Copies of this chain bind each other. A is one copy, B any other.
C-alpha cells in the first residue's frame, strides 16, 4: 500500500479517519445495546461531524447527545430531531434552547438545582414552550448531579412536573475512565444503573413521572451486564476509541480509528530524537495516559499504513514540534526515519485531538476507493 498511498498527498499535520475501524466500533456497541434491550443515544462531542453522526445514529437521524448547543444546532439543521443537551443548563442559554424547540427540535436539557429548574420554568412560561428536563444524578462523585437520595431530587422534580417538564433522570460515570479492567467497569455500570433507578423510583413513589432513565460512558456501556430499569445508554469516544480507552482495556490499540498524519522534519541523533511536524497543536495537550500503566506520551507512533512501531512514542511536544523517541526503559533501537518520512500518531484522547482539526481525511471502507474529506465543526 505504501508506494501509491494517497496519504502521501496530504499536507501534514492532518487528521486521518479509518472508516472501517470506525464502522466496526459503531457496530460493536450498537449490537451490544440491542442485546441488552436499551436504546443507544450516541454522544456527538467526540466526532462533531454530520457525516460521522449519519453512521452512528439509528437510521441516520436517531437519538443523539450533545455537549454544546452548537452541536445541537448543527445536527438539527442536518435533520436530527431528538437531542439531549447533556451539560447542566446555564440560564443565559435558555433562549437558544427555546429557539431550537420552536423550530421543531425535540431538545431536552439537564439540571441539578432548583435555581436552574426555576429559570427553565420561567423561560418556558415566557415563551409558552415547554422544555423537557432530565434531573442529573451523581453516581460517582465525578462532577455535577444530586445524590439519588437527596431531598433536592423531589423538590426539583415537583417544580418541573408542575409545568409538565419533568422528562426523567440522567447520570454519567466519568470516574470509570480512571479505572482499568472489565470488573471495575462492570461495577461502575452497576453504580450508574443503581443511582438512576433509585432516583426514578423515588420520583415515581412521590407521584412524579420518570419516563427517561439515562446512563452512560464508553467504559460502562461496553461492560454493563444488567440494565434493568434503564431506558437508554449514552457513549461518545467509542466511535473512534483512543489510547486512554485501550489503556483501561475497553478496546485494543488496533481499534483506534483516528490518527494524526505527520512528517519527519529533523533528528537529534545523540539524544535519540526524531522531530516531527505534529506538536501539541495537532495532538492536543491531553496527557490522559500519563497516569496509566503505560504512559504513551503525546501518542503512539505508527508507520504510514497505521502499523505501530515498537516502543516509539511522541515523548514530548512543543506547539508545532513533536519529539519522537523510544519509551523510557525500552531495549529497542530507534528506527532510521529520514526527513520527509510520513508517520501516523495514535492519540491519547480522541475528543481532544480531533478538536484540533477542521476536517477528517477519510480512508474509506471500500478497498481502492478514493479518499474523501468530512468536515468537523467546533465552538459553542
Does A88 touch B at the CB level, under 8 Å? yes
Chain B residues, Cβ within 8 Å of A267: 113
Find out whether the CB atom of B115 lies under 8 angstroms from the CB atom of A338: yes
Which positions 127-149 of chain A face chain B at CB distance < 8 Å?
Answer: 138, 141-144
Which positions 48-72 of chain A face chain B at CB distance < 8 Å?
Answer: 67-68
Selected from B88, B93, B349, the residue in CB contact (under 8 A) with A275 is B88
Instruction: Give A46's nearest chain B residue, CB to CB.
Output: B319
Give the contact stretch, choosing among A162-170, A219-227, A245-253, A351-359. Answer: A351-359
Q: How far is the CA of A138 from the CA of B115 in the complex (A)?
A: 57
Chain B residues, Cβ within 8 Å of A284: 284-285
Find out whether the CB atom of B144 lies under 8 angstroms from the CB atom of A321: yes
Q: How far is the CA of A90 from the CA of B277 in the complex (A)?
A: 8
Contacts A281-B355, A286-B285 given; indicate if A13 touches B119 (C-beta within 8 A).
no
Does A271 touch B at the CB level, under 8 Å? yes
Which positions 266-281 of chain A face chain B at CB distance < 8 Å?
Answer: 266-268, 271, 273, 275, 277, 280-281
Selected from B263, B280, B349, the residue in CB contact (under 8 A) with A352 is B280
Chain B residues, Cβ within 8 Å of A13: 380
Q: How far is the CA of A36 from the CA of B140 in the complex (A)?
A: 58
